[in-house]
Amino acid sequence: MGKTVLEDGWLAARSTDVKLTGNQLTTTNPPSSDYPPWMPAVIPGTVLATLVKNNLIPDPFYGLNNEAVMDIGDSGREYYTFWFFTTFDCKLSSNQYVDLNFRGINYSAEVYLNGHETVLPKGMFRRHSIDVTDFLDPDGHNLLAVLVHPPDHPGTIPPQGGQGGDHEIGKDVATQYVQGWDWMAPIRDRNTGIWDEVSITVAGPVKIVDPHLVSSFFDDYKRVYLHSTVDLVNRSGKAANCSLSIQVSTELEGNTILVENLQTKQLSVPANSHAQYTFPELFFYKPNLWWPNGMGKQSLYNVEITVNVDGYGESDAWGHHFGFRKIESEIDSATGGRLFKVNGEPIFIRGGNWILSDGLLRLSKKRYKTDIKFHADMNFNMIRCWAGGISERPDFYHYCDIYGLLVWQEFWITGDVDGRGDPVSNPNGPLDHELFLYCARDTVKLLRNHPSLALWVGGNEQIPPHDINEALTNDLKLHPFFLKVNETVESKEETNLTIMDPSQYLDGTRVYIKGSLWEGFADSNGGWTDGPYEIQKPESFFKDDFYQYGFNPEVGNVGMPVAATIRATMPPEGWEIPLFNKSPSGYVKEVPNPIWVYHKYIPYSKPDLVHDQILLYGKPKDLDDFCLKAQLVNYIQYRALLEGWTSRMWTKYTGVLIWKTQNPWTGLRGQFYDHLHDQTAGFYGCRHAAEPVHIQLNLDTYFVEVVNTTSGALSDVAIEVSVWDLEGACPYYEVTENLSVPSKKTLPMFEMKYPQSENPKPVYFLLLKLYKMSDFHIISRNFYWLHLPDGDYKLLEPYRKKKIPLKMTSDISISGSTYEVRVNVKNISKKPDNNSSLYKNTFIDKYDDSVFDFDFDLTSTGAIKQEVGLLQKFYDRFSRVENDGRVSEVNGTDVGVAFFLNFSVHSTKQDHKKGEDTRILPVHYSDNYFSLVPGEEMDVTISFEVPKGVTPRVSLHGWNFDSAHTVH
C-alpha cells in the first residue's frame, strides 16, 4: 500500500543509438549499463544532467563549456530525444490496483511497461497517472521504458542572444528561460527529460485523488473551521461501501501525537465511477496559527484522510501538513501598492525573485531545504516564482511552509516571449490554450494545500491571452469568505449557509492577479515600471524620487561571488579582473574578461550616473582583492536597498522583491548566494536590514530610524550611537533613553550630529544599537563604514595593516554528519568605559548549555573520534581550554575595529590537489561579514554537514589580517 518513489537505478540512451523498440526493451531485451549506449541517468533531471553525470559533455556551467555543447536548434529534436529505463518490484494482492505516476515530463513521452504502450499527452506542467494494474508482471519484476521528446518548438539562439532567444519556446507550455536571458546562458536541451518525481502508488478498490483543504475564520480568529473535499475513484466492478475518515493531529514533544479532531462518514461509491465528497466542517477553537517568517511560529497540523472499504479494509490513505492561516490582499489607498495581510495583520513584504534551484533541473529535497532556509535566514517573508521558470514543486513549498516564506506563484507567460522583444514575440501565448489551462488547473490542485502559497499571477510583465486570462479569473475566483480584507463575520450563523463549501472551489482562497505589473504592483497598469537592475548610489534608495510606486516586484543589483567560487567555476583565463577605463567625464567603465561576460557579469559602475563602487576602496590588485572589495559593495548596496524601502514603510511602499536572490547556474549578477551555495556579503546586508525590529541610518537625511514591523509596540528602549575612527578612538558617543516605537511603524528618532562636528574623519565607522533599558539586551545592532560627502574609502586600504587582537572561544556539537560550532569572537584591543552603555549591553544570545554535546565519538566505527583526536593534538599545542570550550587568539598590538570578519569552513583531507576548492558547502551562519569595535564580542553559530571521511576546519578571515586564522 502507498507510494514508492522510483528514483534509483535509471538508465538512459539517445534514441537514435537504440535499435530496439519499447516493446523489446521491456520484454526480451532489457538494457544494461554495461553495454553502450546505455548510461546511468539523473532522475529527476534532464538529458543534459545525465550527459554531464557521465562526462559525455563538459559541465555547461563551467567557464565557456556551454559553447561546446550542441544546441537543439542546430542538432534537431532527435538529438535530445532519449530513452529512460528502470525496473521495479511490485506484486499485487487480490483487489489491489497500481498507478504509475509522473509528476513532470518535458515535453511528451511514450511509456512502455512490460511491453504495453501508453502515449502521454504534451505539456511540461501536468501530472500523468496511468493505471498499470493489468500490465504488471505476475512474478512482480517489472520493466519500464520511457521515450521522452523535447518541446515541439525549441527555437534557435540568435547571435545577439537576448531574452528567450527567438521566442519559439513560447509556443509550448514549457520553461521559457531555456533559450537564454540577460542572466542565463541557453540550456541546450531545453530541459528535455523526466524532470520531477516518478512513483508507483498501490491502493485498494477505492483511491483518493486531490483532496482540498480550506480553513475559514470567525470571531477574530478564535473560531476556525476546516473544510475538506476529496475525490474518490472506485475502480472495481461493484459498488463500494466506504468508511471515509479525516483526522487532524499535532506533534508534541517526545514524539507524542495529539489528535485534535477526528470524523468518520459512511458512503457508497458506484462501480467504475468517480465521486466527490465534502466532509462536514471540522471545528477548532483557538488553533495555533501559521505565520510568515518574522511574524510568529509556522504552526502546522497533520491532516490524514483514509478510506476503508467493506470486505477489503483500508483502501487508500493521504496525508498533508496544513497551516491555519488567512492570506488577504488589496490595493492600499495610501500608497497604491498591494497590501498583504496574514491572519488580519498587515505584513510589509521584503523578499526576492526566484527562477529555480538548478538550470538542469537536478532538483532535490536537500537542495530545496538549503535554498529556502537561506531565504528565511535573510529575514525574507516572500519568494516570487518568476513565470519564465517553473511552477515550483511540492518539496519547495514544503520548506516554504516550514520556514514561513510566502510564495507568489506565476504561470508560464513572460512579456519578452509573449508580446515584445527582438524579434517581436507572439502576443497570443502558447499555441494550445486548452493545454495551458489544463496545466494551470493541475498545478493549482498540486499546490493549493500549502499555507505558504499566497497568490497566483498570470504572467511576468505581461498578461495571458484574453481567453486564458478570463478562464483563470473565473477558475481562481475567491469564495465569499475571502473576498475582502476588512470584512469581518461576527457569527458563522449570520453567513449564508447555502454558499458552496470553499473546499469545492478550485482554490477559492487566494487572489489571482493577471500580471506582475498590474493591480497594485509597479504602476498597476502594465507599464514597464519595475527595476532598476544595476548599481546605485547607496543614498539613492532613500530619496523621494527613487521609485514612485507602492510595490516594486523587481529591483536588481550586483552579485559578484567570492574568489573561491570564480576559481571553482572558471579556468585561469577567467580569473582576470576587469579593466577600468576612465572616460573624459571622469566615470569609469569596467571591461570584464570574455568568460565573465558570458556568465552575465554586471559591473559595479554606471557611467555618467554612478562612479565605480569598487574603486572607492582603491584599484584592486588581483582576483582576491577584487572579490573582497565586491563583498563590501554587495553588503552596502543590498542593505541600503532594503533600508531605503523600509524607511517608507506604509507611507510610500507596501513591499519590494529583489531581482533576484540566486542563480540557477554559475552567473555573476543578482544573487545573495552562488550556485555552489556560498553566500555573498549581500546576504548578510539583507539579513540585518530585514530583521523584524531594526535600527538604521537614513543615508539621505542622516536621521537614525527605528523600524518595528511587529504587532507589538516597543517601550523603555534606548539607542546607543558610537563613532570610531581608524586610529581606534571614539570621537562621538551618545545614548538616548526612554524611547517608544509604535507597532508597524518606521520612526525617525534624531539626526546624527557626526560628521557635522568639528574635524570629522574622512572615513569612519558607525555603530548603532537599540537595546532594552531593563536588562541592556540588544534588540538590533547595525554597523556602517562611511566617508565624508564626495569622499571615498581609500584610507581603508592602509587600515588592512592593522593587527587587531581577537579572542575566540568555540564549542562544538556533532550529531551524525552534522556539525554545529558556536564561536564567541571578542575584540580585546581595548576595554570600553565601565560606565558606558557600550560596556553594559551585550549581543550574545542566551544558549542552553545542554544542547552542546562534546562527546566526539558518535559513530560506531570510531573514525570521527580518531580524526578529532588528531585535531585535539593541534589544539593542545596551539590553544588552551577554558570552560569546556577551545580558545584561540589572533595576536595584535593595534587598537581599533576588527573590520569585515567572515568565517568559512574547509575540508582537511590529506589528498587535496593543488588549487582544489576545499570549502564545505552549504554552511548556515547566524552572522558573517561582521565587524567588532574595541571591547565588543559576538556569538556566531555555524552549522554544516560533513562528507564522510572529511575533517572540517573553520577559518576566520578579516580585513585586518592577510591570512586565514583557524578557529576549529
Residue 170's CATH number: 2.60.120.260
Residue 156 counted as domain residue: yes
Cell of 633: 559593495
Cell of 104: 513532470
The whole-number pLDDT of residue 858 equals 21
The whole-number pLDDT of residue 876 equals 36
The whole-number pLDDT of residue 758 equals 80
State whether 22 and 66 are in the same domain: yes
The whole-number pLDDT of residue 513 equals 98
Which H or E element spans position 900? strand 898-907
State whether 427 and 284 are in the same domain: no
The whole-number pLDDT of residue 391 equals 97
State whether 756 and 818 are in the same domain: no
What dihedral do alpha carbons 83, 87, 90, 91 form, nearest 10°?
100
Cell of 432: 494550445
State whether 191 and 298 are in the same domain: no
| Beta strands, E only, 499-641 | 512-513, 551-556, 579-582, 588-591
- CA–CA distances in Å: residue 56 to residues 47, 749, 943: 11, 62, 36
State whether 196 and 285 are in the same domain: no
Q: How many domains does the chain have?
A: 5
Residue 713 counted as domain residue: yes
State whether 99 and 157 are in the same domain: yes
State whether 772 and 837 are in the same domain: no
Helical spans, DSSP H, in 719-821: 796-799
The bridge status of strand 313-322 relative to strand 108-113 is unpaired
The whole-number pLDDT of residue 852 equals 23
The whole-number pLDDT of residue 559 equals 96
Q: Please list the active-site residues.
A: 461, 554
What are the residues whose beta carbons fall under 8 Å from the beta carbon of 559, sequence distance 6 or more?
602, 634, 663, 667, 668, 669, 670, 671, 672, 680, 682
Is 208 in a helix, a strand, or coil? strand
Q: Among 763, 794, 825, which residue terminates a domain?
A: 794
What are the residues whose beta carbons fall under 8 Å from the beta carbon of 348, sequence distance 6 or more?
646, 649, 650, 653, 654, 655, 709, 744
Query: What whole-number distance in Å separates Cα of residue 845 and Cα of residue 448?
Result: 38
Residue 113 counted as domain residue: yes
Residue 372 counted as domain residue: yes
Cell of 30: 532489457
448 in Cβ contact with 460 (< 8 Å): no
* Domain of residue 443, residue span: 349-485+500-524
Residue 404 counted as domain residue: yes
Q: Among 145, 171, 203, which residue terminates a domain?
A: 203
Residue 666 counted as domain residue: no
Contacts of 221-224 spanning 24+ positions with Cβ under 8 A: 221/286, 221/289, 221/326, 221/343, 221/344, 222/285, 222/286, 223/283, 223/284, 223/285, 223/492, 224/283, 224/284, 224/285, 224/287, 224/324
Residue 13 counted as domain residue: yes
Block means of pLDDT (10 residues each) for the chain, 968 residues, are 94 97 97 93 98 98 98 98 97 93 98 98 98 95 98 93 92 97 97 98 97 96 96 96 96 82 95 95 96 97 97 96 97 97 97 97 97 98 98 98 98 94 88 98 98 98 97 97 63 53 96 98 96 97 97 97 98 98 94 98 96 98 98 98 98 98 97 98 98 98 97 96 96 95 97 89 97 94 96 97 93 94 94 63 40 23 29 34 66 94 89 83 98 95 93 93 67
State whether 111 and 251 are in the same domain: no
Q: Among 182, 203, 224, which residue terminates a domain?
A: 203
CATH at 723: 2.60.40.10
Residue 663 counted as domain residue: no
**Sequential DSSP letters for 631-673:** HHHHHHHHHHHHHHHHHTBTTTBSEEEEE-SB-SSS--SS-SB
State whether 262 and 373 are in the same domain: no
State whether 306 and 435 are in the same domain: no
Query: What whole-number distance in Å separates Cα of residue 775 and Cα of residue 793?
Result: 37
927 in Cβ contact with 691 (< 8 Å): no
Query: What whole-number distance in Å separates Cα of residue 262 and Cα of residue 795?
Result: 69
Query: What whole-number distance in Å separates Cα of residue 328 and Cα of residue 346?
Result: 9
Phi and psi at 911, nearest 5°, equal: -100, 25
State whether 373 and 239 are in the same domain: no
CATH at 353: 3.20.20.80
770 in Cβ contact with 778 (< 8 Å): yes
State whether 367 and 465 are in the same domain: yes
